[in-house]
């Protein structure tokens, strides 16, 4: 499917990698080509998105950049370095949509009839699979924040926590390569092979690319139900089955991880309450332990019923940016993130997903991702962690290096 889609200059491929979940609807979705597009930055982006949906009432695919925070919280700005130059928001109405579910694929699109759908199905089957090649020409990875600066920033953030400014801050560090030619589809194959995840994405419009192996759902609307599934709590897996089971129990009983998970659940409950019918916000699951290729995660599920009188985009706006990538209280930590990070997050810590013609939607959290601007030959990936008062700055630094090493392996392999 993805190899066939490379003929288009706009496409979005979403793959759940056969991950079982009560909330999953498709094994994979491909949207390719564009009948209409919407590009805008923070200001009135959500209202423009609502108007775009109202105009077309069709499948829409695209992204919400982290820096839409400046619209959600008026007065905020984003002044840090930005080598990627992604717009804060981009959506497209696709020419073709392929929905893969179990052993069947549904094909639809603009002026699509049965004959055209059959031709696309045949073309997809006949498209040769691309052979592996070099992913990146220049692998000289650098960063704005070195070890000393990172540790100094973490300790300064802990002083803010000590003063009562906040409880926790998600602090990120960008790694980047200048002047490089990249093959994003090869990077996606490597990333998806190493770390298959239920919200993986290959997303491309014009000269901008995202390859993503996200395990986290930001927000979904399915009929009259909103679902958000924040992740807080991670532990490395063990190859031995018994030891791996012990690791799951260790994560489940870890008091620090449970405290952070409860904090983000409370934040999500508050976010959803702004647009939910009174009394409908519920914690469907608390401290769920879920296994992935490399790690176990602690994931909680919060649900609500949105007020049908509100615009479709309003629950997304009120929950944005997602609490797992900010901290609490949200407004203050957004200010601290802008103050202490040295790179604009852009699409990182934002969301990629889709709207359906029936008024449903589903968006991931853009983490464990590589972003690339082919126009200026700039490649970037960010790593981060939750900073608490009792966190060790040195250990947080080592965690960032460990997360970055996995991305470096994909880029340089």
Phi/psi-derived region of residue 212, left when phi > 0, alpha when psi is between -120 and 50, beta in every other case:
beta
Strand partners, 113: none
Catalytic residue among 216, 257, 260, 341: 216
Residue 222 appears among annotated catalytic residues = no
Phi/psi-derived region of residue 238, left when phi > 0, alpha when psi is between -120 and 50, beta in every other case:
beta
Backbone angles phi, psi at 363, to 5 degrees: -135, 140
Q: Within 13 A of 397's CA, how many CA atoms are on the CB side?
A: 14
Distance from CA of residue 371 to its chain's centroid?
12
Tokens, residue 404: 């970055």
Catalytic residue among 69, 221, 232, 403: 232
Task: Report the distance separating Cα 411 and Cα 401, nearest Å.
Answer: 15
Distance from CA of residue 171 to its chain's centroid?
16
Taking alpha carbons only, the member of 392, 395, 385 closest to residue 260 is 385
Taking alpha carbons only, the member of 58, 63, 57, 9 closest to residue 38 is 63
The total of other beta-carbon atoms located within 10 Å of residue 79's CB is 7
Residues 281-320 as b or e (16 or more Cβ within 10 Å = b): beeeeebbbbebebbbbbbbbbbbbbeeeebbbbbbbbbb
Angle at 177 between CA 174 and CA 383, to 5 degrees: 25
Q: Is the peptide bond before 321 cis (omega within 30 degrees of 0)?
A: yes
Residue 95 appears among annotated catalytic residues = no
- Which ranges of 177-288 would DSSP assign to H, the alpha helix? 184-194, 241-253, 255-273
Tokens, residue 174: 């960008």
**Sign of the four-CA dihedral 103, 109, 114, 117:** negative
Q: What is the DSSP letter of 44?
A: S
User: For residues 297 and 290, is the Cβ–Cβ distance under 8 A?
Assistant: yes
The total of other beta-carbon atoms located within 10 Å of residue 193's CB is 11
Which residues have a catalytic role annotated? Answer: 216, 232
């Amino acid at each position: 499917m993805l190899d066939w889609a490379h003929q288009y200059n706009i496409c979005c491929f979403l793959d759940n990698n056969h991950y079982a979940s009560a909330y999953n609807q498709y094994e994979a979705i491909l949207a390719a080509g564009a009948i209409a597009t919407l590009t805008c930055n923070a200001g009135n982006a959500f209202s423009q998105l609502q108007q775009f949906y109202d105009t077309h009432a069709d499948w829409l695919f695209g992204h919400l950049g982290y820096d839409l925070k400046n619209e959600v919280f008026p007065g905020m700005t984003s002044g840090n370095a930005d080598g990627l130059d992604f717009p804060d928001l981009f959506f497209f109405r696709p020419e073709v949509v392929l929905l893969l579910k179990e052993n069947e694929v549904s094909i639809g699109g603009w002026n699509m009839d049965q004959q055209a759908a059959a031709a696309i199905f045949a073309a997809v089957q006949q498209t040769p699979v691309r052979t592996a090649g070099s992913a990146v020409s220049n692998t000289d990875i650098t960063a704005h924040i070195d070890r000393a600066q990172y540790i100094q920033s973490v300790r300064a953030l802990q002083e803010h926590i000590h003063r009562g400014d906040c409880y926790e801050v998600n602090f990120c560090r960008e790694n980047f390569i200048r002047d490089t030619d990249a093959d994003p589809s090869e990077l996606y194959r490597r990333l998806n092979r190493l770390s298959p995840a239920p919200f993986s994405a290959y997303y491309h419009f014009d000269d901008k690319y995202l390859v993503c192996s996200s395990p986290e759902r930001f927000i979904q609307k399915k009929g009259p139900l909103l679902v958000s599934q924040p992740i807080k709590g991670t532990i490395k897996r063990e190859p031995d089955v018994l030891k791996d089971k012990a690791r799951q129990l260790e994560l489940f009983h870890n008091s620090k991880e449970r405290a952070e998970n409860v904090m983000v659940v409370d934040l999500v409950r508050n976010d959803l309450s702004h647009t939910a019918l009174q009394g409908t916000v519920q914690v469907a699951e608390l401290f769920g332990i879920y296994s992935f290729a490399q790690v176990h995660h602690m994931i909680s599920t919060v649900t609500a019923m949105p007020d049908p009188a509100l615009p479709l985009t309003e629950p997304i706006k009120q929950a944005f940016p997602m609490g797992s990538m900010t901290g609490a209280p949200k407004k203050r930590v957004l200010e601290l993130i802008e103050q202490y990070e040295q790179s604009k997050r852009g699409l990182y810590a934002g969301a990629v997903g889709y709207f359906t013609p029936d008024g449903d939607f589903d968006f991931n959290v853009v983490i464990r991702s590589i972003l690339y601007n082919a126009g200026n030959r700039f490649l970037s990936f960010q790593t981060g962690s939750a900073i608490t008062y009792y966190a060790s700055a040195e250990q947080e630094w080592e965690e960032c290096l460990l997360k970055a090493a996995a991305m470096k392996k994909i880029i340089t392999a």
